[in-house]
Amino acid sequence: MRVFFLGFLSLLLLSSPFPADCKLVLDLENPNLAKMPIAVPDFVSQGPAPLNGRDLARIIKNDLRLTGLFHIVDDSPANTQNLPDQLDFEGWSQTGAQALILGSFQVTGDELLLEARLYDTALKKLELGKRFSGRINDHRIMVHKFGDRVMERLTNVPGCFTTQIAFVGDGQSREIFLMDFDGQAMRQVTRTGTINLSPEWSPDGRGLIFTSYLNRKPDLWSLDLATLRPYTVSARPGLNASGRYSPDGKIIALSMSFNGTPKIFTITPQGHIIKMLTSGRGNDISPTWAPDGSAIAYVSDHAGTPQIYIMPANGGEPRRLTLQGNYNTDPKWSPQGDSLAFTARVEGRFQICTIRTNGTDLRVLTKTGSNQEPAWSPDGRMIAFQSNRDGKKVIYVMDSRGETQIPVSPVTGKAPAWSRTGR
């Protein structure tokens, strides 16, 4: 991919720092945060082009909508030209838009030049401008990259619109697929002809680990995404499942049962055992790392029903986290480290929930259908999960408060895993 950032669009933007009291700031710590009204009219073509300006605008609209932080304003001023030197700020303010994104593009042969700008309509001020260049087929990643910068400008944390989601096909194929976070650009990356489970991205985004029955038993495999060649990491007798990289990628936590009952172990990426972390009579599965690597959450039924526990990453006394309900599984630690998402059985159906690491603030985020296997986006603003609410299992994405829930996978799928890095 030959997409690269060329720089700010104006010397003014380079030389003038943003004022500390700029209105275009989203305070994510505010529990009563209202959605920011933002307008994104069709991008303007500078000459004939095989691309559609409406489609380009739709990409970033969808990006922003999925975060749950924005209200997309569809109205526009009468007779607006949407050109930087002819902007009707008063008209845009009257539509209710607090922010405005304008884009223009030019195609020369197979080359695409795309420019995008973010404005504060009340202050009549250019807040952000970027220019990208690449091939026509790179247009989606260009728009996503600008969306990432918009999120950084408004929240001080870069967006994750250039990231990908890995998932397991849930139709005739149980192979592993990749797609952009919004469901586009899907591709199959395994061709094992057997059941594959629980994919996990390497921290650098260059590979996956997953459990596969390629050798007719559940072994842990690794896949280099450049070569698509799988190789075994752990093929010990019994279960080798739910492998999860530590934040630095130097350790893998997984569940193994070569001694009989599944327990949580840590191993090297080459498969050498480091330590057995859990003991006792219960079945211990589904480890997930704290983002600082200091602790591991996992599921155990040693108290009679599946519940989530937390223990130090080097071993020690576990602490039970979930005290409500009789079936809590699939824990995933949030990137901020203050909460976990998990699957709980609520009134007979599985739902996605979140809970603080101290056991408080339990929230049920889904209400319709059966919903399982949450996966956080790397910025912590969104959660991917599988749902059957429409009659078949597909991957959904929702904001972390559960207010916006949208299906994204173009095929049936389960076990989503969100990449930690963008493309």
Q: Which pLDDT band holds residue 76 (cuts at 50, 70, 90)?
A: confident
Residues 206 and 107 in one domain: no
Residues 278 and 339 in one domain: yes
Residues 34 and 147 in one domain: yes
Containing structural domain, residue 168: 164-418
Q: Which pLDDT band holds residue 87 (cuts at 50, 70, 90)?
A: confident
Question: Among residues 155, 175, 208, which one ends one of the domains?
Answer: 155
What pLDDT is attached to residue 240?
98
Q: Which pLDDT band holds residue 315 (cuts at 50, 70, 90)?
A: very high
Residues 172 and 147 in one domain: no
| Residue 176 dihedral angles phi and psi, to the nearest 5° | -100, 135
Tokens representing residue 37 in the block = 């009204």
**Mean pLDDT, to the nearest integer, of 192-220?**
96
Q: Which pLDDT band holds residue 25 (cuts at 50, 70, 90)?
A: confident
Which three-class secondary structure state does DSSP give residue 137? helix
Residues 147 and 214 in one domain: no
Q: Which pLDDT band holds residue 79 (cuts at 50, 70, 90)?
A: low
- Report pLDDT digits (tens) over 373-402: 999 999 999 999 999 999 999 999 999 999
**Mean pLDDT, to the nearest integer, of 248-257?**
98
**Mean pLDDT, to the nearest integer, of 104-129?**
95
Question: Among residues 91, 125, 155, which one ends one of the domains?
Answer: 155
Domain for residue 168, yes or no? yes
Residue 11 pLDDT > 50: no
What pLDDT is attached to residue 22?
47
What pLDDT is attached to residue 297?
98
Q: Which pLDDT band holds residue 47 (cuts at 50, 70, 90)?
A: confident
Average model confidence (pLDDT) across the chain: 91
Number of H-type helices and E-type strands within the chain? 4, 31
Residue 21 pLDDT > 60: no
Look at the block and give the residue holding tokens 């970027």: 130
Residues 293 and 332 in one domain: yes
- Report pLDDT digits (tens) over 134-178: 999 999 999 999 999 999 999 998 999 999 999 999 877 799 999
What pLDDT is attached to residue 49?
80
Q: Which pLDDT band holds residue 23 (cuts at 50, 70, 90)?
A: low
Residues 193 and 133 in one domain: no
Domain for residue 307, yes or no? yes
Which three-class secondary structure state does DSSP give residue 164? strand
Q: What is the DSSP letter of 138?
A: G
What pLDDT is attached to residue 325?
93
From edge to edge, which strands make up the β-sheet containing 207-212?
A: 196-201, 207-212, 219-224, 229-234
Residues 283 and 386 in one domain: yes
Look at the block and give the residue holding tokens 């930690």: 420
Q: What is the DSSP letter of 43?
A: P
How far, in Å, CA of 267 to CA of 413, rounded? 29
**Mean pLDDT, to the nearest integer, of 328-355?**
97
Domain for residue 10, yes or no? yes
Q: Number of folded domains in the chain? A: 2
Q: Where are the beta strands (DSSP E) in 246-283?
A: 252-256, 263-267, 273-276
Residues 6+ apart with CB under 8 A from 206: 224, 225, 226
Residues 96 and 149 in one domain: yes
Residues 6+ apart with CB under 8 A from 15: none
CA angle 295, 299, 303 (to 5 degrees): 115
**Mean pLDDT, to the nearest integer, of 37-44?**
95
Residues 98 and 195 in one domain: no
Residues 74 and 207 in one domain: no
Report DSSP letters for 191-211, one per residue: --SS-EEEEEE-TTSSEEEEE
Q: What is the DSSP letter of 42?
A: P
Angstrom distances, CA of residue 299 to CA of 262, 279, 286, 296, 415: 11, 13, 6, 10, 16
**Mean pLDDT, to the nearest integer, of 185-196?**
95
Domain for residue 388, yes or no? yes
**Mean pLDDT, to the nearest integer, of 191-209?**
96
Q: Which pLDDT band holds residue 2 (cuts at 50, 70, 90)?
A: very low
Domain with residue 86: its CATH number is: 3.40.50.10070
Domain for residue 273, yes or no? yes
Residue 14 pLDDT > 60: no
**Mean pLDDT, to the nearest integer, of 183-201?**
96
Q: What is the dihedral of CA 311, 344, 200, 215, to 10 degrees?
A: 100
Question: Among residues 112, 130, 155, which one ends one of the domains?
Answer: 155
Domain for residue 423, yes or no? no
How far, in Å, CA of 48 to CA of 359, rounded? 58
Angstrom distances, CA of residue 255 to CA of 250, 343, 419: 17, 18, 21
